[in-house]
Amino acid sequence: MTETKRMNMIQALNSALDVKMGQDEDVLVFGEDVGYFGGVFRVTEGLQAKHGLKRCFDAPLTEGGIIGSAIGMAAYGLKPVPEIQFADYILPAYDQLVSEAARLRYRSNGEFSAPVTVRTPYGGGIFGGQTHSQSPEAIFAHVTGLKTVIPSNPYDAKGLLIASIECEDPVIFLEPKRLYNGPFYGRPDEELKTWANSGLATADVPVGHYEVPLGRASLVREGSEVTVLAYGTMVHVAEAGIADAGVDAELIDLRSIVPLDIDAITASVRKTGRCVILHEASRFGGFGGELSALVQERCFDYLRAPIERVAGYDMPYPHAFEWDYFPGPIRLAEAIKAAVEYR
């Protein structure tokens, strides 16, 4: 029997880092405020005290420098796990990620590579306004050579982070900060539950080493009438929306968007004949567009309704209008009903 503990997502991520640092001296963690202080979200708490100053340390406030130096470390042979404090602030490092980390292996024909795991909290629903709420997954999905991983619960968070650190490719690891402390169903007026008292099995996290493989989606809810594709915070919102719609929907948590579990998606849509895609990022050019195109190409003969996309509106993430912007369960339920009632 593997020993498990009730953990929230922060503890699960912390545990993943702790396990990997314990196993492999080449794993090191750094970023703004991650060292002595333990990170603004406490994900790296205690790691410096336990593993030493040189294994988990603070970095100058320069995202380009953090990712650039991590690439150099990885080229040397280390397994750096840098943190970008908010995904909104990853853009100063975008050149490093796109032009360097993603292409180093390709352009050197395998001589050098950059297996860096970039952890960064993303997503809204926390009154973060324009620069503490963004969901930038689509701008990474378009970059050949990068993997992009997004957990939705403590169990997956730890297993996926371990798998990402062990992966030989650079990984953008987006952590839904709205889910750090407990599941969130997209109803801000509802009383919040912590992961510990959520009643969810996904908060039972093995204390030791395990992996959740990249590129494999998880079937959150089996259903026959419509397939809902979601990831991150939106997995829980989707559960609420499905319940509201009162439809027998199948819910797939993609977990990694690159590599994408295309087989799980096509199998489900071919079964249900309908597909609704849900993400928090703004709609135009969002990852939902890619998903929609793939489903259309691969499930055309099976589709009984147009593919629906429910997403953030095409604007910067607003502050006061957060819950109007946020694609919550009501909007999802409408889309599900539209798909099911089509013709």
d(CA 165, CA 46): 19
d(CA 240, CA 12): 24
Does residue 95 bind other proteins (CB under 8 A)? yes
Marked catalytic residue, from 132, 209, 236, 319: 132
d(CA 268, CA 301): 14
Distance of closest approach, residue 215 Cβ to other proteins, in angstroms = 7
The site for other proteins, by CB under 8 A, has a size of 45
d(CA 305, CA 324): 26
Judged by CB under 8 A, the stretch of 58-66, 118-126, 278-286, 314-322 that binds other proteins is: 58-66
Alpha helices in the chain (DSSP H): 9-23, 47-51, 63-76, 94-95, 104-107, 137-141, 154-166, 234-245, 262-272, 287-299, 322-325, 329-341
User: For this structure, is 279 an active site residue?
Assistant: no
Does residue 109 bind other proteins (CB under 8 A)? yes
Cβ distance to other proteins smaller for residue 100 or 239: 100
The answer to whether 202 and 154 have CB atoms below 8 angstroms apart is: yes
Residue 27 neighbours by CB distance under 10 Å: 21
d(CA 316, CA 306): 27
Distance of closest approach, residue 231 Cβ to other proteins, in angstroms = 17
Per-residue x/- track, 6-45, other proteins (CB under 8 A): ----------------------x-----------------
Cβ distance to other proteins smaller for residue 10 or 265: 265
The residue ranges that bind other proteins (CB under 8 A) are: 28, 54, 59-60, 62, 64-65, 68-78, 80, 92, 95-96, 99-100, 103-113, 144-145, 147, 167-169, 215, 258-259, 262
